[in-house]
Amino acid sequence: MDVSYDGTDFSGWARQPGRRTVQALLEEALQRQPPGASVPKSVVVAGRTDAGVHATGQVVHVDVVPLSAPSGRIPVSSEGIPDLARMTGRWNRLLPGDVRVLGARIAPEGFDARFSAIRRHYRYRVSDAPWGVDPLRRHDTLAWNRPLSTDAMNAAAAELLGLHDFAAYCKQRDTGTTIRELQRLEWARVDEHLLEVRVSADAFCHSMVRSLVGVLLLVGDGRRTDTWPAKVLESGIRDSAVAPAHGLTLLGVDYPPDAELAARAAQTRNVRTAPTGRE
């Protein structure tokens, strides 16, 4: 399933008691299947997003028990799968307006939304306008009250690319590796006062993108030199410069060819014991 959501009013992706979360609402909609179908208590997501983080290209998989006979007005295939286009429309009628199922299809053999992923893509938006943020962009764009230099931020970002231990840019956990391959970290000014940074990696540890953005913004406004972010990386000590969540959006997730899905999932499970892709 391809899923999009505005994270403003969610306490993140993951189900939490007494909190409004994307996972909880999606699972509630999935439970309202035609009679005879069933889904597990928990779906599997490519990247668990934190409170306030948005997504336009989230990926989820769910295991289902095929229907033994047609049910209701929704056609069922010979394999016992309801018409997924019709089901997508049904789910979206059940879901609130700030979360949408963009499409659903039968997954290839060996597919795992989380462990089969080879790359995740994020975008962070910042306005350096002296008057703040356009009111229509206030939920997905950070207001920065100092002029920013994309040249300075890109010079600093180039030193962070590649395979590194990003412990200094991750919220610490008791288990799991902080070694990641950062494949893209590129700033661009897309309008007079609007900047975007595109970030891609094999996976992200908790708060990694927002930590990278927070440090680079201090370079962009001149308060730090363009060599400082690399020194932070080398130190292994987490810096307090973490950008707010609302400027961050998960844009998409890449997967290998179908024949390589199972092998990729097995490889990822062997090297990571903590949740990946969380921001």
Please give the Cα distance from 172 to 278 (Å, whole number).
13
Instruction: Check: CB of residue 248 under 8 Å from CB of residue 54.
Output: yes
CB-count exposure of residue 177 (10 Å: 0-12, 13-18, 19+): middle
50 is catalytic: yes
Q: How many other C-beta atoms are found inside a 10 Å radius of the C-beta of residue 191?
A: 10
SS3 content of the chain, % helix, strand, coil (to 5): 30, 25, 50
Please give the Cα distance from 243 to 228 (Å, whole number).
17
Strand partners, 253: 120
- What is the distance, to the nearest Å, from the Cα of residue 114 to the centroid of all Cα atoms in its chain? 11
Q: Is 3 left (phi over 0), alpha (psi -120 to 50) or beta?
A: beta
Nearest residue to 185 (alpha-carbon basis) of 241, 5, 166, 134 = 166
Please give the Cα distance from 94 to 7 (Å, whole number).
18
| Residue among 2, 6, 9, 50 flagged as catalytic | 50
Q: Indicate which residues carry an active-site annotation.
A: 50
